[in-house]
Amino acid sequence: MTAINEALANIRLGEAQVFQNLQITPLLAFEPLKADYLTLDEAHEKGLATVTEVSESGSVPTLLLENAADVAVFLLDGEELVGAKQNRILNLTVLVPPRSRLHIPVSCVEAGRWNHTTREFCSSDRALYSKGRARKAAHVSEDIAMMGTRRTNQTEVWDDISSKMDSMRVDSRTQAIADVFEQFSGSVDEYVGAFTVQPTQVGACFAINGTIRGVELFDASDTCGKLMPKLVRSYALDAIEERGQAPGSGESRVQAFLQGVRSAPVVSADALGEGEDLRIRSTHIAGGALAARDRVVHLCAFSQESEAGSLGTRGRMRRTSQRRSYRTSSSIDDLFIDGIDAAGDG
């Protein structure tokens, strides 16, 4: 039995909760664990973790995390970090060992800024919207398999955000996805407030307009409780964009999706911090899991069924023109596009 199969075998479905067009089906543990690590928010609050650019000049796809705690720090796939030279999201889940420094792989979600607003990053209350996380997950899995690294296609990430802004009619001076969340913060918060986390809940399956979009599974119920609002915000932004009146997704569909995750091909690689990265390689499902400490610490898996032709020409053309408008004396195009590979890991 694979680690992912074993993790999914140890949960049962709770009663689905629905708000407008978003349905969340809780995943409940038979024997919930207690986390033996800190979330990034907890480590920040205790002054035990700092995230900065890797150097004064910076590197778009890499940041530096310093963990001064005596326990590991958990970083969530898609979690947004705000500040420094530009806002970023985490490319995958990482468990940073105690009292260590680690270069972490990230993607830029603010194309029009490359200057310090703060020296350190702050963690935010959200993760990237779920459709963007799905495409990012597929990129990262391919990069691990082909190159042994954990990068995304940065240009496509920017194109994807540009298309999101077009669809939701949001203007942003720096093309920051944070501005989309801010404009719809009232509606997003309504979604967050509508859902409750159960005492033994360790994850959830998410459906929008009756279609399963993804699943999140943690090793510990307290981790799930702390991070679920970030994930609800992630799916809520897509639900707001795609408002509809479709019925919820029945238990049989949830079970079928979970079975698809169980049966999907998986490739493994040593994780950057603790454990092993397990990446799902399927035409129908994208995602991955971090296996560490004899268990799956976190699993995220997304449906690829609604992602065919996801970007198209419109987003690509708009992003090209926007990049031209952001030229500065430091040549922002060179920093973001031609310089990505040259920047390396700092």
Q: And the tokens for 289?
A: 């899991």
> Which pLDDT score is estimated for 1?
63
> Which pLDDT score is estimated for 249?
77
What is d(CA 204, CA 8) in angstroms, rounded to the nearest whole number?
A: 11
- Relative to beta strand 62-67, strand 49-53 is antiparallel
CB 232 within 8 A of CB 191: yes
Asked, for residue 151, whether it belongs to a domain, the answer is yes
Amino acid making up residue 171 = D
Segments of the chain with pLDDT less than 50: 308-346
Asked, for residue 71, whether it belongs to a domain, the answer is no
> Which pLDDT score is estimated for 248?
72
* Domains contained in the chain, number: 1
Asked, for residue 184, whether it belongs to a domain, the answer is yes
Asked, for residue 120, whether it belongs to a domain, the answer is no
Helix runs in 18-106, H state only: 40-45
| Domain that includes residue 229, residue range | 3-36+130-326
Asked, for residue 192, whether it belongs to a domain, the answer is yes
Asked, for residue 193, whether it belongs to a domain, the answer is yes
Residue-wise pLDDT for 220-230, tens only, equals 999 999 999 99
N-terminal to C-terminal alpha carbon distance within the chain? 39
What is d(CA 266, CA 321) in angstroms, rounded to the nearest whole number?
A: 39
Asked, for residue 59, whether it belongs to a domain, the answer is no
Asked, for residue 305, whether it belongs to a domain, the answer is yes
> Which pLDDT score is estimated for 306?
56
> Which pLDDT score is estimated for 332?
33
CB 12 within 8 A of CB 238: no
- What pTM value is reported for the model? 0.88
